[in-house]
Structure 1
Amino acid sequence: MFNIKALRRNKTVKYGVPMLLLVVGGSFGLREFAQIRYDSLKIKRKLDPSLEAKVNIERQPVILEEEYERIKDLKLDEWKNIRGPRPWEDSKEYQDQQRSNQNKRH
């Protein structure tokens, strides 16, 4: 018959069994949490049928010649890089200032 005091002093029972339970139980728990994550991603990915139809229409193959003809007419020489407002700047005020500076140059 087992002696309870002897089991309490046994290092395998004292440290090994809880560690084994933690590792095995943790893997099952982690699997459940990961499954919740993937299920929520699956729900978020579902699109409205009308929006999905629009997305599928836009996935037609791109023909280089057609893209060249479309881009050829753009006036790229008149393009100017204008930086956006910084987080601490008022965006409306900064945009108005950039527009007024651009109008003065033309």
Structure 2
Amino acid sequence: MEMILNENDIVVGAKFDNGTIQDYVDDAKTYGLIRVEDTTANWFLYNDLDSPEEMKAFYKKVKKEEHFIKNDFGEEIVLFNKNGTMSFEELTKKIDSYLDDEVMSSIY
């Protein structure tokens, strides 16, 4: 996975063999976009204890639509607006891998 950096050398996404992932694609910096083969979906991380009120309202809105949530001990990966054939589960594996790589690169 090749990290994409902004002009300040901060990780803002990644390229991998069959797709890309971006941290933020909206002006409010609320959610990102993942593209894998023929599938796209929006995604964000959510933690009920630490999220600001605006994010909590957005989370409630997304939960009323088609969505998928993977809970990793309180930190949730939320996917929505999925188009394509890849499953939500496969998409969350790619996001998990991206987040693991991002954490490791920030340590070194």
Under a length normalisation based on structure 2, what TM-score does the superposition of the two structures give? 0.24
Give the number of the structure whose residues are more often strand, by fraction.
2
Give the number of the structure whose residues are more often helix, by fraction.
1
Under a length normalisation based on structure 1, what TM-score does the superposition of the two structures give? 0.24
Larger RCO: Structure 1 or Structure 2 (Cα < 8 Å, ≥ 6 residues apart)?
2
Question: In terms of Rg, which structure is larger?
Answer: 1
